[in-house]
Amino acid sequence: MTVADLARDLVAVPSHEDETGAGDAIEAWLRAETDAAVTRDGAGNVLARRGPADASADAPRSLALVGHHDVVPPDASQVDADGAYVVAERDGRLHGRGSADMKGALSAALFAFRDAEPAGELVFASFVGEEVGGEGVRHAIEAGFSPDYAVVVEGSTGYSSPGVTDVAVAHKGRRASTITARGVSAHASETGAGENAIYRACDAVAVLRDLDRPTAAVLGHDLVGSLEATEVRGGTAWNVIPDECTVTVDERTVPGERADLDRIEAVEGVAVDVEQDLPPMACDDPAFADAVLDAARAAQDGAPEQVVKPHATDAGWLSQAGTTCVVCGPAELGQAHTADESVDLDVLSRCRAVYEAVAGSWPA
């Protein structure tokens, strides 16, 4: 079996509503192909470890290869009449839901986990619930999952130049909020009898637009956060002063400071509710970032660079919990979550080589 064979097998297993089948396949492969200690936790995460698990002060430091086996719901064209995922190979690419995000990368990581001669304890982790806010990784962290280092195998190909697999040393997080403005309903002909919630929402948006966007510097890269109103809902009829108006806010956060949402709540009748807060990631060890970059350079003809990803991954949760992370994987910009999702099979082999090399040299 090759990396491409395993990728085809994993992509074929539906996992947008229930990750159990994909987890079963990953666990079975690990048990058949490795002598690692394999566990399945209560959330459905698949974990495996090679090397000593001594908890003493002299225990070797650990490196984890981290991915997830849940996927977003497929497009109708990606499912056959029986509900199975459609998998196809053409022009050197594997097509199907989850091929890029991220069962192709999982396959590369599994082979590297099996074949590496690790410098320390080597861990493999495939989490559930990444696409819905990192449910699996948070469960694992709460249960004590705490590798010293991690390569999170999300996409980093094509960032510096087309086809080149780069190493992301930082990524932004996402905080999703709803501004709710409340007023007093009245007939529109009696303006003095009501308080217009839409006007209060407009005042809140004016404050939002004036807020400072935090910035951060990570290993020579400058990150700038963003803050955007993305949806407005309010009013019930053309002749009724509305008593409620809501505004959704998409905020891309950076390591360190956050936008001061409390200032919005200073507007009369306005409250802000944070509904999702996916943390950003910043690699805190330049030597580790350089080691992964060296492995990426050795595995390809192109000239990879250390880059920044614009969106959140499970690396944010791990970084927040104290694990030093980078992101390196085969998926290209614009491939994940699409109706024609695919991954380059040659890049899967490249990433396998990167992961195996890093495992053999790190922790240094």
pLDDT at 168 over 70: yes
Mean pLDDT of 223-228: 94
Of all residues in the chain, the percent with pLDDT exceeding 90 is 92
Cα separation, 126 vs 116, in Å, equals: 18
| Helix or strand (DSSP H, E) at 268 | none
How high is the pLDDT of residue 59? 62
Instruction: Please count the CA atoms within 13 angstroms of the CA of 39 that sit on its side-chain side.
Output: 11
Let me know if 3 is exposed, middle or buried by CB neighbors in 10 A (0-12, 13-18, 19+): buried
Is residue 78 within 8 A of residue 15, CB to CB? The reply is no
Cα separation, 364 vs 352, in Å, equals: 20
Residue reference for tokens 């002060």: 57
Reported confidence tier of residue 83, pLDDT bands at 50, 70, 90: confident
pLDDT at 55 over 70: no
Is residue 349 within 8 A of residue 3, CB to CB? The reply is yes
Reported confidence tier of residue 349, pLDDT bands at 50, 70, 90: very high
Is residue 249 within 8 A of residue 273, CB to CB? The reply is no
Q: What is the pTM of this model?
A: 0.91
Cα separation, 104 vs 216, in Å, equals: 32
Cα separation, 307 vs 111, in Å, equals: 25
Helix axes 104-115, 20-33, angle to 10 degrees: 20
How high is the pLDDT of residue 1? 87
Q: What is the DSSP letter of 359?
A: H
Mean pLDDT of 249-275: 95
How high is the pLDDT of residue 58? 61
Give the CA diameter of the chain.
78
pLDDT at 348 over 70: yes
Domain-wise residue ranges, the chain: 3-172+280-361, 173-277
User: Amino acid letter at 232?
Assistant: V
Is residue 246 within 8 A of residue 180, CB to CB? The reply is yes
Who contacts 210 (Cβ-Cβ below 8 Å, separation ≥6)? none
Please tell me whether residue 72 adopts helix, strand or coil conformation: coil
Instruction: Please count the CA atoms within 13 angstroms of the CA of 96 that sit on its side-chain side.
Output: 26
**Fold of the domain built from segment(s) 173-277:** Alpha-Beta Plaits (3.30.70)
Q: State the average pLDDT for the chain.
A: 94
pLDDT at 89 over 50: yes
**Fold of the domain built from segment(s) 3-172+280-361:** Aminopeptidase (3.40.630)
Measured from the Cβ of residue 230, the count of other Cβ atoms closer than 10 Å reads 9
Let me know if 191 is exposed, middle or buried by CB neighbors in 10 A (0-12, 13-18, 19+): exposed
